Structures are given as structure tokens and as C-alpha cells.
Amino acid sequence: MLTPIAPMPDPVTTRPIVLTNAQLPGLSGFHTTVLQQGVIVQQWPGPVIPNPDLGDALVIDLQGDWLSLGGVDLQINGALGLAFPDLTVQDSERLTEIGRLLWSQGVDGFLPTIVTTRVDKIHGALAAIAAWMVKAPVPETAQILGVHLEGPFLNPDRRGAHPAAYLQPLTLETVKTVLGDYAAIVKVITLAPELDPTGTVIPYLRSQGITVSLGHSQATAAQARTAFTQGASMVTHAFNAMPGLHHREPGLLGAALTTPGVACGVIADGQHVCSTMLDLLLRMTAASYPERDTLFLVSDALAPLGLPDGTYPWDQRQIRVEQGTARLPCHTLAGTTLPLLAGVENLVAGGLCDPARAIALATQSPRSAIGLATWRLGQPASLLRWHQDPHGQLHWQRLAPMASSSPANPSAAHN
């Protein structure tokens, strides 16, 4: 977690909170935002305007700092030693502990990501998550917005750290088997589109309200464009587990970057993608910011998130975590243990991105990618304040915990 910068207001106050002289990602100038019991009720450009309706409001001058929603992580594989594919219905309290950890790391909502494993284990994890989701929201806890199935419909040649033994053919029959009775809680599924020559799977998944993301794939640009035409709208961890950009075969990523509306996730931990390619990716998607940025950050964090560096079990194998990077014994990059907002800090510290867009990449863009509201009046919101110190480093803190419902707005329609 980045260093807190100032005392927070009383989280249980019923007084209106007026946050003034704040910069908002995607908007120019300074703005004033009014919260009432954790809900955005008013907003206008400029300083505080005398208003008798505000009564004894608590006015906080943000002195030019940025204000944002909390982060949303669309790809996170576990935390506190628990890998989400290992979940059982007895793990409810552990899920809550993970939600509290993520909240402390600035995350409002997340998609527990279930990687390739046995179908019975997938169903067990889905059952555990479904049972947790129907419970009343716990204060100061990141909420589960649905599930991301990363596999098992992946190209064996691009499986990365996914075990080959559990990969499945991409057919309607196998998709329905894997989803079982849990299609309603699956928000995103990552698949390799070239594995389905019939062209029937993506339209079926979209009919179930599931966002289709292309990844772990050898797809050509033509195959990817066909998948986008069929309804796929995302790319899983751009550059990783897919062919690189080539001047005669741009591949999956080249097709995504030239198809309007396709959102690309990226891991900005400094290991998965080098700074030059991150710079290129940011430049290629800049035209879509701020209206609907087609780039968003993910953590891709593994089960040791929140634990110190060391060696940890990972399915039937082990991973070694050093300085937040996790690798298999064969040195295959397995993931990271850095939190989502560390990616924001990395982009700014590396001079790759201005603070406003970097903040939006972890807060607004992920919401847009799965059809959630990004910033509107009437929205429950637990806001983050961001400050850039004289050395160019970003620091954040929470300002207003939610009062009544999930700040990530999980009831919004699918994308």
C-alpha cells in the first residue's frame, strides 16, 4: 500500500462531505464533489459554491490532488495463500479476509480468476464464490463482481503456466459442462478463438451475458477479427501468451488494437511487459482516452499476494516469489504478487503515463470493460485521493468508505 498522505474524515459521519479543488481523471481543471453517506450527490467544476442545502458539511480542500473511484481488478488468481481454484464452500471467511486485504490495497471490486484445472475443482470454486456473493456486503471489503475463467479453453502452445493435462477442447458441449449451473456468476472467460472452427461458442457465451476475452492464443489477425465480429470484446494480459506484433502478421493483439471498442488488459509490474512495449501500447490506445479507454490494468496476482517473498505451493507445483515476481522452477513467468495500484505507480514513476490516465487505467477502464458505471451522480462510491510528491511518486488513501452498497456497482448490466 502506498503511504497515506493525510488524516481521513470520520467514516461514520452523516454530514455531507465536500471535496473541493480536486482533479478528476478525464476532466480538465479542478472540481468539487459532494458525498452524502458515501453517495455522490453533486459535482461541479470550480471551488465550493455557498449552498444552504449543504448545512454543516465537512469541507476538504484536496489542494489539486486527484480524486478517483477505488480500483477494480479483473484478473487476480488468489491472495493470502489461497488460490481461487482451490476454494471450497468452507472458505467463506478466507474470501472475506482477501476482500479486506484488497480493500486495504485500494481495490473496490474484483473478479476471482480460476485458471485451468479439473472441471470438478472449477465447479467447487464457483460454488464457493456463488455462496459468498449472496451474502450481505461486508463494510471495508472489496466485493466480488463475478468470476473470470482463464481457461481451460486455451491453446496448448500458448498455455504459459497453465497445466496441459486439464486443457479442454473449445466446443459448445465442453463450455456448457465447465459452466455447469454457474453461468450467471461468470463475468469474463478467456479463450483461444482458433480452437473453435464452428464459430458457435462466442455467440453462445455472449447470450449468457459473459464477456469474452481472447488470450493464451495463437490466433492470426484474421481469426481474431472474426472472434471480435462474433462478440469477443477483450484481450487477456496484452503481449503475454500470444504472438508478438509482426509487420506481416500483426496477430491477435494487432487485430485488437485496430478494432474499435476492444479492451486490452495489461500487467504493469515491470516484468511481464517491458517499458518500451508498455509505452507503445499506451500510445496506440491513447485516442480512446478519456471517453472509453481501451486499455486497463490487471494485477494477475497469485495466491502469495499479501505474503512475503518465498516458495509457495501452486497446484501440484511450486512457485518462487522474489521481489513480487512469481516463477515456476523452469523459470516460466507465472504471475506477480504486486497489488493492482502498484501498476499505477509504476507507469507514473517510469514516465510512461501522466497521473490522470494511470489512475483511470486501474479505476475507470476496468469498469468500462465489463459494463459497470464509472462515475455518476447517485453512485455509492468509496473514493481514493492521489497525491504526487516532489519526486514524482504517487501516493493514495481512501476518503469515504461506502455507506450502503457495493462501490463497484455490481448490479450494473453486463458489457
In the numeric block, the cell 464477456 is attached to 211
Question: Torsion over CA of 371, 376, 381 and 384, rounded to 10 degrees?
Answer: 90
Q: In angstroms, what CA-CA distances link 286 with 74, 257, 405?
A: 21, 11, 33
| Cα–Cα dist 311/86, whole Å | 18
Helix (H, G, I), strand (E, B) or coil at 132: helix
C-alpha cell at 365: 477502464
| Cα–Cα dist 350/150, whole Å | 29
In the numeric block, the cell 498522505 is attached to 5
Question: Torsion over CA of 381, 211, 122 and 83, rounded to 10 degrees?
Answer: -50
From 300, 309, 354, 389, the catalytic residue: 300
CA angle at residue 106 from 284 to 362, to 5 degrees? 10
β-bridge pairing 186-191 and 147-150: parallel
- Tell me how many helices (H) and strands (E) the chain has: 10, 22
| Cα–Cα dist 93/127, whole Å | 15
Closest CA to 87 of 113, 124, 116, 115: 124
CA angle at residue 79 from 81 to 117, to 5 degrees? 80
DSSP H or E stretch at residue 254? helix 251-257
Closest CA to 265 of 287, 290, 305, 233: 233
Contacts of 195 (CB under 8 A, 6+ apart): 153, 155, 169, 170
> Could you confirm whether 279 is annotated as catalytic?
no
CA angle at residue 298 from 295 to 302, to 5 degrees? 160
Burial class, 239, CB count within 10 angstroms (exposed 0-12 / middle 13-18 / buried 19+): buried
200 backbone dihedrals φ, ψ, rounded to 5°? -100, -20
Yes or no: say if 111 and 145 are a contact pair by the CB < 8 Å rule.
yes
Residues labelled catalytic: 300
